[in-house]
Amino acid sequence: MTKAEKWVPYFFLAPALLLIVFFRLLPAFSGFLESLYATSFAAGGVKTFVGLRNFQDVFADPVGLQSIWVTLRFNLIVNPLQIGLALLLALLVNQALRGIDFFRSIYLLPIAISLNVTAIIWGLVLNQYGLMNGLLRVLGLPAQPFLQSPNQALWSIIMMASWVGVAYWALFILAGLQGIPTELYEAAEIDGTGVMQRFMHITLPLLRKVLVFVLVADTVANFLLFVPVLILTSGGPQLSTNTLMFEAYRRGFIFGDFGTSSAMIMLLLGATLAIVAIEFWLLRTSD
């Protein structure tokens, strides 16, 4: 192989690498620089270097701490819920049951609809006079303030996010299930093992890498969840759905505090990188 031929793979990779640099790395670096400055609009938009003060302000501000707590609480609930339901859905779809072909053709519908449209539809469903409260009235139950109650709004966002996420992540788990050799199940069945034993000793161990990938990717996606909060609750009521991602948007584009907003984005980026590092560690230890 000549020297020129050795560079051929890099030429094919160059367009993708340039896209990553211009649309990922440069914006991240620009955001980090912005987080080190404070902008004074009273002085005509003059920027002043403040170092890590913006990061300190995030943790010193009760609203900033509340947004961090909401983000953590949201992820601690929604991630296990989505992965568990996605696993159950994938196991169901993987069965040769009567009518399963029809079910396979419709369970992916939530993925086909954009997140914006999904949020609007769920806003109508959870409205005071929407479908959900209509069903409750038919059953003789009182209507619920799903999106207007501080105790129910976050759960409503979780329900909407799971509507989309469960079907999406089930695709990955289904691919993992179909990659498990059927001979293993047949041999285990001949040995007299039950369904639960086959699931615990064959399915779960061979799905470990897939489940770790799905868990980490789901966590990253939910850390950055923004559109449903913006459309359904705008961070309310009483900041009960005010995630760190939405608070960064609010600080930057509503109050013009781009320094603190960028600091919040850097915190989210740091959490994302930490999760990716954990993913590589878990994948390595699973070998």
Q: What pLDDT, on a 0 to 100 scale, did the predictor assign at position 44?
A: 59
**Sign (positive or negative) of CA dihedral 156, 160, 165, 170:** positive
- Distance (Å, whole) CA 122 – CA 232: 8
Which pLDDT does position 17 carry in this prediction?
85
Rounded Cα distance between 8 and 109, Å, is: 41
Decide: helix, strand or coil at residue 126. coil
**What distance in Å separates the CA atoms of residue 31 and residue 248, rounded to the nearest whole number?**
12
Q: Which residues of 44-82 are buried (b: 16+ CB within 10 A; e: fewer)?
A: eeeeeeeeebbbebbeeeeebebbbebbeebbeebbebb
For residue 227 the two structure tokens come to: 């559109």
Angle at 247 between CA 244 and CA 250, to 5 degrees: 160
Q: How far apart are CA 179 and CA 89, in angstroms?
A: 17
In this predicted structure, what is the pLDDT of residue 155? 93
For the chain, which ranges sit under pLDDT 70?
1-4, 40-45, 283, 285-287
- pLDDT the model gives residue 65: 92
CB distance 54 to 259 below 8 Å: yes
Tokens representing 250 are 């609010």
Residue 286: what pLDDT?
Answer: 57
Q: Residue 40: in which H helix or E strand, if any?
A: strand 37-40
Find how far residue 168's CA is from the centre of its chain: 11
Kindly give, in sequence order, each residue whose CB lies less than 8 Å from that of residue 230, ignoring residues fewer than 6 positions away: 246, 249
Q: Does domain 61-285 have CATH number 1.10.8.10?
A: no
**Residue 1 confidence (pLDDT):** 59
